[in-house]
Amino acid sequence: MNTNQREHVALITGASNGIGLALTRKLLSESWQVVALNRSNFPADDMFIHNVLKNGRLRAYKVTDLADYGSLRRSLEEIKGKEQQIDILFNNAGGGLSELSYSKQGREKHYDLLTVVPYIIMMELKELLKNGRLKTVINTSSQVFRFTKEFTIENLEHPKTFSKMYGPYATSKLALSLWTQAVAPQLAKDDIKIRSVDPGINNTLRKGKDSGLTPGFELFMKFFASPPTHGANRLYEGALGKHCNETGVFLLKDRVADLKFTEYAQRVLDKISDIYSREFLDGSV
């Protein structure tokens, strides 16, 4: 393991493909160390990635299912036992589902995976962030929530209806940005800054894997969307660019953008904080 403390350290969830892989490659090319928390392996034919895995500048940790708190707990304990610091945490893992599905904890899976789990990861790795120099959290959000017409805490956990992209996926991303806004003053006490960032429309389609997109949008993405490097650059700029001293904000196209339903921000934070304390810290799942 490379322990050169002059190098910055980023932890990226979902680093083995798509935007996460592009961001991993970008940071490694700029002499960062990267800690990856992945469900799947890195591409077998990516020699650059496998070389940095060998020399220790990239360190990979596996999790069976991020939305399974038992699996997540074991992976985070391993990270806390082996790593010394994190400068930037990129909560990037996620994806869309094509039908209503529930996590092992009994909540709608988009909500658990995209809203609750990033909070758990941040809280569990908070001490490593405090040991870092940049002390920054970047949550990958999505502008798709601009189409959200209704928002309630109850509907996040147990939706009455389901639609691809514009249903639970969109509301879960909105909830992520809302708690990002609400938690910022609390994190500021430890000099930690947090922002949510829209990475734009990127072609992250994978052969044989359900995208969770509407058929029309999947076709558009296939032919017209930007490559994952575009989204990686958005996250990179969100972390290190002109807004690096701001906290709690949502960044859209490198500009601070307004959120909808901000009156629910504190309630969302209180709810996921309660889930973290009651189920992750005190539970046996």
Tokens linked to 184: 């910022």
Residue 167: pLDDT over 50: yes
Percent of the chain having pLDDT more than 70?
88
At residue 3, the pLDDT reads 42
Q: SS3 for 154-199, per residue?
A: HHHHCCCCCCCCCCHHHHHHHHHHHHHHHHHHHHHCCCCEEEEECC
Q: What does the pLDDT look like over 192-247, one tens digit per residue?
A: 999 999 998 865 555 656 556 566 656 655 655 678 899 999 999 999 999 999 99
Each domain of the chain, given as residue ranges in start order, spans 9-281
**Quick one: DSSP state of residue 114?**
I
What pTM did the predictor assign?
Answer: 0.92
| CA 155 – CA 143 distance, rounded (Å) | 19
At residue 1, the pLDDT reads 37
CATH number of the structural domain 9-281: 3.40.50.720
